[in-house]
Amino acid sequence: MAKIEPKFSTCVACGREYTIDHFYKRNKNYVDEFSNGYLCYCDKCCAEMLKFYTKKTGSLQSGFYYTCARLNVPFIRKPYESVIKQKNAFQNRSKSPKEDTTYDLFYWYWDFLWGKSTRMTPTDTWNEFCDSDMKAQDDESVKSKEAIQLEMDKYKMDWGNQENIDDYKYLSYVYEKYTQGLNIESAQQDDLIRDLCIARLDKRKVDDGRSAEDVTKIQNRILQLLNKLKLDNFESSKPKTLSEQFLSNKIAMIDENNVKDIYTNKDYEYKDINKIQKYYKDMCLRPLGNMLLDNRTFDIDINDIEQYNLDEVNE
């Protein structure tokens, strides 16, 4: 006898009745005479469950593991990895990083699980949590208490006491962003960068409604730290290539020495009589240096062109 497709269902968590489209439908091969073919938790409660276990364990993978166990849903690695890939793609396109729990990750997982985006073929072995292909020792939260404590001690040593693991992750993200391509020359410089990261976190807390601190004071603190670190001039910190270094050293050498001292030859004495060499140095090499090195180190006033007397011929 064919089962009648239900139109409504009641969530066992929140106790509310919703239309059936608010519940996840199991694989068509799922066999359970006591089930209507849908999860007994509504989609909102599934999302909240994942957030709860993720925050409790401090690991998104662990959050999925325990959520799937609670829902009696198989935890399959391939669709989980597809979720992570999609989440990272969204975060990379975002101007400001978002917490993992802001995305509807379980909805994505359910789609990936049944092959909508991974071309996976669901089988009748994917009925229950016991069919998962992830073993307990693969769970990120299964660590020794000593290892967990050492990890937290390092976080606290670097950043002091913070509210939750997400704050530590945000601080690490901002620190990596500010130090990318930067040569840290002293412990004092590193401390200032960490102070800047904490100030950024304080501003984020205000933006998220977790703090009532005056945002103007925080922004002023951020600007002061940027100024001390010389990060407020927006100049590129990318290391110079060998060609750029050679050009920079060559122009600096010409600036510090007389041309005839650089190009010495005992057979003749070089004289820049009509200032052609000086013109080439000031009006060609310096602008070229500006363009290639993207700075104003070799700046010169265009009005100085009159000093070269290019129209005069000296006999």
How confident is the model at residue 313, as a pLDDT? 43
Q: Please determine, for residue 193, whether its predicted confidence score (pLDDT) is greater than 80.
A: yes
Q: What average pLDDT does this structure show over 121-125? A: 50
Residue 36 class from Cβ within 10 Å (0-12 exposed, 13-18 middle, 19+ buried)?
A: middle
Residue 187 and residue 177: Cα distance in Å, rounded? 18
Q: What is the model's pLDDT at position 260? A: 54
User: What pLDDT, on a 0 to 100 scale, did the predictor assign at position 130?
Assistant: 84
Task: Tell me the sheet residues that pair with 25.
Answer: 38
**41 DSSP assignment:** E
**Tens-place pLDDT, residues 32-79:** 666 677 889 999 999 999 999 988 888 888 889 999 999 988 898 888
One-letter identity of residue 250: K
Rounded distance between C-alpha atoms, residue 231 and residue 292, angstroms: 21
- Indicate the residue type of 215: V
280 compared with 260, residue with greater pLDDT: 280
- In this prediction, residues 161-178 reach a mean pLDDT of 86
Long-range contacts of 59-65 (CB under 8 A, 24+ apart): 59/139, 59/140, 59/141, 60/84, 60/100, 60/105, 61/139, 61/140, 61/141, 62/139, 62/140, 62/141, 64/105, 64/106, 64/109, 65/134, 65/139, 65/141
Q: 183 CB contacts (<8 Å, ≥6 apart)?
A: none
**From CA 215, how far away is CA 193, in angstroms rounded?**
19
The predicted model scores a pTM of: 0.44
N- to C-terminal Cα separation, the chain: 114
Tell me what the mean pLDDT of segment 101-120 comes to: 75
Instruction: Using only the alpha carbons of the chain, give its radius of gyration.
Output: 32
- In which residue are the tokens 């290019």 written? 310
Q: How confident is the model at residue 202 (pLDDT cuts 50, 70, 90)?
A: very high
